[in-house]
């Protein structure tokens, strides 16, 4: 991987982590086009994922600060309830990460056909959430948090957008648009950091932990993912508030169909 490829893949990761179009699916497509083996570039994958987490901290720092200030009051307040909802939402993805990580990695190496199919499923979810008109709730309940967490767990499939799945599920459950976007982005922080830690441990056990990836490639990828992540996170919150997810549904439908056709040629 050279610095230009790192720049492009970093931009893709940062943008698609928050936009409901599947970062894993687009990274798989980009790596395929560049002829890059994801397993050989594990260090790069870790770096760009951590960069997107840091971009979440930057854009949603006021919400994160609000949660922790409330937690340290050591009483059951709105902040503590919000934090507990995030913990509940992590249960399904935690189970998948602990017990089914190897299975998920095998799916990622199964080619672009599964990516195309999951992009079509993402388009379907976004379309449903656009036309659904449930009664709007004031706050996200722990039951909703668990269901949204199940959607996040399903989104480990390459091509099934994590943000698209969680936001669409939350909206169909009747949660407010602006609250759902923030919750979706905050709930992904612990799983991404946990996955990165597991990958670091896996990488450290190898004979050549960093593979063939140079330091400049890692730096370029990190900066690209961080900057584009900040832009996409802020942009996506505004998009959800305006209810414009249907456009991403159309994009995912087209991208999924093209990906399936290319995989069959």
Instruction: Supply the pTM of this predicted model.
Output: 0.82
- What gap in Å lies between CA 45 and CA 190, rounded to an integer? 16
- What gap in Å lies between CA 225 and CA 55, rounded to an integer? 8
Residue 157 is predicted with a pLDDT of: 82
Residue 217 is predicted with a pLDDT of: 84
Residue 210 is predicted with a pLDDT of: 55
Select from 169, 82, 70, 78 the least CA-distant residue to 125.
Answer: 169
Residue 212 is predicted with a pLDDT of: 65
Q: List pLDDT tens digits, range 209-265.
A: 555 667 888 889 899 999 999 998 888 888 887 877 888 899 999 989 998 998 887
- What gap in Å lies between CA 200 and CA 93, rounded to an integer? 19
- What gap in Å lies between CA 89 and CA 144, rounded to an integer? 9
- What gap in Å lies between CA 35 and CA 7, rounded to an integer? 15
Q: Which residues, at least 6 apart from 181, have a Cβ–Cβ distance to it below 8 Å?
A: 167, 236, 237, 240, 241
Residue 116 is predicted with a pLDDT of: 87
Residue 192 is predicted with a pLDDT of: 80
Select from 166, 101, 113 the least CA-distant residue to 140.
Answer: 166
Q: Report phi then psi at 18, rounded to 5.
A: -105, -40
* Mean pLDDT per 10-residue section of the chain, whose length is 265 residues: 84 83 74 64 79 90 91 88 93 82 66 85 90 81 93 85 89 86 87 77 62 78 92 86 84 91 84
């Amino acid at each position: 991987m050279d610095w230009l490829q790192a720049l492009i893949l970093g931009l893709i990761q940062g943008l698609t982590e928050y936009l409901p179009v599947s970062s894993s699916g687009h990274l798989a497509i980009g790596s395929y086009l560049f002829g890059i083996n994801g397993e050989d570039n594990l260090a790069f994958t870790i770096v760009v994922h951590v960069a997107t987490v840091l971009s979440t901290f930057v854009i949603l720092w006021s919400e994160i600060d609000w949660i922790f200030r409330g937690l340290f009051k050591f009483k059951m307040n709105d902040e503590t309830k919000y934090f507990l909802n995030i913990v509940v939402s992590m249960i399904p993805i935690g189970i998948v990460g602990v017990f089914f990580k190897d299975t998920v990695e095998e799916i990622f190496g199964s080619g672009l056909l599964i990516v195309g199919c999951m992009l079509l499923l993402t388009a379907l979810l976004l379309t449903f959430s656009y036309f659904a008109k449930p009664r709007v709730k004031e706050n996200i309940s722990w039951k909703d948090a668990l269901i949204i967490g199940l959607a996040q767990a399903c989104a480990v499939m390459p091509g099934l957008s994590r943000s698209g799945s969680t936001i669409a599920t939350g909206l169909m459950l009747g949660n407010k648009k602006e609250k759902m976007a923030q919750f979706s982005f905050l709930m992904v922080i612990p799983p991404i950091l946990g996955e990165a830690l597991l990958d670091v441990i896996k990488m450290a056990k190898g004979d050549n932990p960093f593979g063939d990836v140079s330091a400049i490639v890692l730096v370029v990828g990190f900066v690209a993912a961080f900057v584009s992540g900040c832009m996409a996170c802020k942009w996506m919150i505004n998009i959800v508030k305006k209810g414009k997810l249907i456009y991403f549904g159309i994009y995912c439908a087209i991208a999924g169909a093209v990906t399936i056709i290319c995989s069959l040629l």
